[in-house]
Structure 1
């Protein structure tokens, strides 16, 4: 079972699984050209590719889009982010996938209006990834200038390979977690989805 392998072997297995998704590799390569500060390809396209490989589905099955996060706190205007989004749209033109590029330094400006809870300004792209609704989602990959893969996985990779979805109640509301996991269960019924903790329960992060 890959989830019980040493971490270095899990990293090799992650790269092997993600490399089965040719769309994902193309997004990685095209994003690297943009040279966005602190960027990562992140969220569903990563762990869902692993799920597809683990369950013998086509690597792109059920993946809605490809999320690229970057962090630029020098200009928090919408105009600055929009300029990056438009440049990225040209870069990803002709691809058979939707690629969404967002500046995580601006999230606190709109998060409460959309989700009903306040968001403390992030200090990095990694901090943004830390706040996904499930620890299983807390995963980011990018290509460094030398072509090496940089992987950010603050909760490890065992849950990803074991098809376990674990809640991460640090920011996103319970409804966000339950809405997402309901859709994932329909697409990947093999998943084990853990319940959101009750308010009275003590929260203990997953160990890796």
Structure 2
């Protein structure tokens, strides 16, 4: 199977292929439909569930292979309390009951409050869910999808999609995330040996 058949194509060609693959994956399609019903502000399904689904399709692996969960971002800076986010998380847990994959929900307006405690370094105060994606440890992982105002799926990909289609995990050195880049790269290679991890 030619798993690199979309590598090196234009962004528009890769965007179309990416959306076709994501929309055709039953696990992701059902999750996105449920997310849309939840209607969180500035929501974005991001990262692993998306690019892992692309790698699964292109290497002939089954839907859901290697995917731990679905990451759902939203952005609401009206109330930055832990309690407000926790209420959304609990609401979402009920809303997503019965899905094959767990959904992890996080308010990107609050990340700057807990990130230094968890990771020992500061992080910017994000202004949107899309902005937060551009700070992921690996450029390859910086991808999200949401339904646009026209009802069609749209892609957020600040670094493009060629790393995904080239099976290449490329570091994003905007923050000191070498450990995360290397750990995620090693885990990905264990599941998809076709992957190359670019050193930090």
Shorter-chain TM-score: which interval? over 0.9
What is the DSSP-based 3-state SS (H/G/I as helix, E as strand, rest coil) of the residue aligned with 2:16?
A: helix
Output the CA distance in 2 between the equivalents of 1:129 and 1:163: 19
**Structure 2 gap segments, 5+ residues each:** none
What is the DSSP-based 3-state SS (H/G/I as helix, E as strand, rest coil) of the residue aligned with 2:61?
A: coil
**TM-score of the aligned structures, taking structure 1 as reference length:** 0.90
Q: Would you say the 8 A contact 1:70–1:125 is kept in 2?
A: yes
2:28 to 24, 30, 53: 24
Q: After alignment, is 3-12 or 86-95 more displaced?
A: 3-12
What is the DSSP-based 3-state SS (H/G/I as helix, E as strand, rest coil) of the residue aligned with 2:24?
A: coil
What residue in structure 2 maps to residue 191 of structure 1? 195
Equivalent pairs, count: 196
Output the CA distance in 2 between the equivalents of 1:194 and 1:111: 25
Output the CA distance in 1 between the equivalents of 2:9 and 2:37: 33
What residue in structure 2 maps to residue 125 of structure 1? 129
Q: Would you say the 8 A contact 1:70–1:104 is kept in 2?
A: yes
Answering whether residue 55 of structure 2 is matched by residue 51 of structure 1, we say yes
Answering whether residue 169 of structure 2 is matched by residue 165 of structure 1, we say yes
**TM-score of the aligned structures, taking structure 2 as reference length:** 0.94
RMSD of Structure 2 on Structure 1 (CA): 1.2
What residue in structure 1 maps to residue 180 of structure 2? 176
Q: Where do 1:145-164 residues align within 5 Å?
A: 145-164=149-168
**Structure 1 gap segments, 5+ residues each:** 197-208
What whole-Å deviation, never above 9, does each CA across 1:97-126 have from its counterpart, x for those lacking one?
110011000001111111111112111111
